[in-house]
Every structure is written in structure tokens, then in C-alpha cells.
């Protein structure tokens, strides 16, 4: 399997700036959300992280299912909820990952979500640094 490398660049002030990927597919203004005292009206790093984590975890569910010789239902959905909250120094991030796996029984769904959490690159990257709560619904 080949490696994949990409990059994105932030300009104009971080959370109140702009991000662009090297291929131009991501080309977004950033604005602080109203909940953090900003004006809103554009995306923010937490929304981008939530989207990326949800997509990555969804792929990991499919990998875990293949490994278990089962299938993930076509109408499976993965939602990543990212929380940015103050801590003693600045802020910390927490993640809630909810996988909706219609047609599976609860025990199978729970096992698949836990297996996906073990192989998902974003789960591996955050392990030990970000509190991640997993939920499987059927």
C-alpha cells in the first residue's frame, strides 16, 4: 500500500483567517464561532476536524467489517461531535463518535465500533490525548 501525503496552509490569523489545501479542494475562510465570541459565518477548525474524523472513522468501520467478514450496511452513518472547552492553560478537545449501523444487532454494532476505533488513524492519533466517547446505535 502506498503512502499519502497532503498539506494545507493557514493564512491571515489562524482562527480568523483562511485555509487552503495544496490541491485547492479545501479553500475556506475561518471564523471564530459565536459560542467562542466570534461572529460566525464561516467554518472553523473544529468543524473541519469533525468532518475529517467522521469520514476516517466511517472508513475504519468498513475495514473492521471486512476483517470480521461482515458488512457495514449501506445506510450506515458516522457523526463526530467535537467539543472545544477551556482548561487550565488554554483549551482541550473531546470527541464523541456515534455510528448508526441499522440492521445489525447491538452487540455486533458495539464490537464493530470498538474494532474501528482500534484501526482508525484519527483514533490512533488522538489516543491518550483526546477523550473519545464511542456510541453504536442500530
57-98 pLDDT, tens digit per residue, is: 999 999 999 999 999 999 999 999 999 999 999 999 999 999
4-33 pLDDT, tens digit per residue, is: 999 999 999 889 999 999 999 999 999 999
- Which residues of the chain does CATH 3.30.300.20 include? 45-136
Q: Which contacts qualify for 126-131: CB closer than 8 Å, 24 or more apart?
A: 126/93, 126/95, 130/92, 130/93, 130/94, 130/95, 131/94, 131/95
Question: What is the reported pLDDT for 23?
Answer: 98
34-54 pLDDT, tens digit per residue, is: 999 999 999 999 999 999 999
Quote the CA–CA distance of 65 and 52 in Å, as a whole number.
Answer: 20
Sole residue written with cell 499519502: 4
What is the value of pTM for the model shown?
A: 0.95
Quote the CA–CA distance of 77 and 47 in Å, as a whole number.
Answer: 17
Question: What is the reported pLDDT for 30?
Answer: 97
CATH H-level, domain 45-136: superfamily: K homology (KH) domain (3.30.300.20)
The CATH number, out of the four listed (1.10.10.10, 2.20.25.10, 3.30.70.2860, 2.40.30.10), of the domain defined by the range 1-43: 2.20.25.10
Amino acid at each position: 500500500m502506498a503512502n499519502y501525503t497532503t498539506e494545507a496552509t493557514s493564512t491571515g490569523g489562524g482562527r480568523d483567517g483562511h485555509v487552503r489545501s495544496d490541491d485547492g479542494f479545501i479553500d475556506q475562510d475561518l471564523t471564530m464561532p459565536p459560542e467562542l465570541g466570534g461572529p460566525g459565518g464561516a467554518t472553523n477548525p473544529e468543524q473541519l476536524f469533525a468532518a475529517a474524523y467522521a469520514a476516517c472513522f466511517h472508513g475504519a468501520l468498513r475495514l473492521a467489517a471486512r476483517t470480521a467478514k461482515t458488512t457495514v450496511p449501506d445506510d450506515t452513518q458516522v457523526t463526530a461531535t467535537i467539543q472545544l472547552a477551556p482548561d487550565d492553560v488554554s483549551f482541550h478537545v473531546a470527541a464523541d463518535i456515534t455510528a448508526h449501523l441499522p440492521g445489525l444487532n447491538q452487540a455486533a454494532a458495539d464490537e464493530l465500533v470498538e474494532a474501528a476505533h482500534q484501526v482508525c488513524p484519527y483514533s490512533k492519533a488522538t489516543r491518550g490525548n483526546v477523550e473519545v466517547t464511542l456510541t453504536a446505535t442500530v
